[in-house]
Structure 1
Amino acid sequence: MFLPDVPTKFQGAEITFDESEEKFATIFKSLIDRFFSLTLFLSIPAAALFNKWLFKKQSYNYAEHVVIATFIASAVNIFSAFTYFALPLPPLPQKIIGVSFTLIMLVYSARAYVKIFDQKIVVGVLKYMVSTFLTSIFYVLEFLVLGAFYYYIYYG
């Protein structure tokens, strides 16, 4: 079976809200565990396309935009791996470290976009924010499609 840790059927005909919420959480966690790398990989070409549309003044072709998006996504993922060292800590330091790393990665990414595409700071940051927003929407849509596909295969 492709995802052996996910139950193959809902138990019983009547499911209360709490039970269905727990089942959804189990399915969603399995989707993230299994498909995170795939969705990240698939979102890079979309990010490159959004960057090509937004940063038109640069003479980069689409392949160069893919390389830039891959570089920035890789740097963010490598650096965000350090947040796993905070897992043994109590909840408050975990949250502080998580928020700090998120802010650092946002600043790093914005600076990378400004420098790579040779933009003024305000314009570059705004374009970065639009690109990130559009890529995030695409990323969520990927999860919805994969989730629907997964549900159809295993529960449909």
Structure 2
Amino acid sequence: MTVRTNNHSDPSDIDRMAASAADRVCAKYGMRDRAQSTFRAMMNEVLEEVEGAIEAQALAEAKEMERNRLRDALALPEAAGRRDLAESLALDTDTALDQIQAILARAPKEQKRGGFLDAAMRGISPNLSDDDGSDGAGIGPEEHTANMILNSR
């Protein structure tokens, strides 16, 4: 009989270790048949209860480690002016903190945004207009259409 801690068909390492431990304890105390079966069932129940708590604790610890990794990556002196890259390296990769630091040190700093060229590159119209305050008299239909297109953004 195998001690099971989950419903999978293949016993996990912890299942094999628990079964082996149960067999050793049963042999040590001379347990046979029904006593051995009862002991294994008890071990199985204990492991099922503990397994959920262990998984929850491991998940909480992993989340905390990732939060700390992100916090540490953003706090690096090399992250100044390279925040987007630091965030990407910390969130999207498994790169170690010392490697993140080395990558950030070699990367150029991010350019400040907000200029005319940056707006044009992002597809934002800088609201150009050829409106000189006149009533539009004296311009041809092509120019009028072009002005309407320019002023529609």
Same fold (TM over 0.5): no
Q: Relative CO higher for 1 or 2, CA cutoff 8 Å, sep ≥ 6?
A: 1
TM-score (norm 1): 0.26
Q: Highest CA radius of gyration, 1 or 2?
A: 2
TM-score (norm 2): 0.26
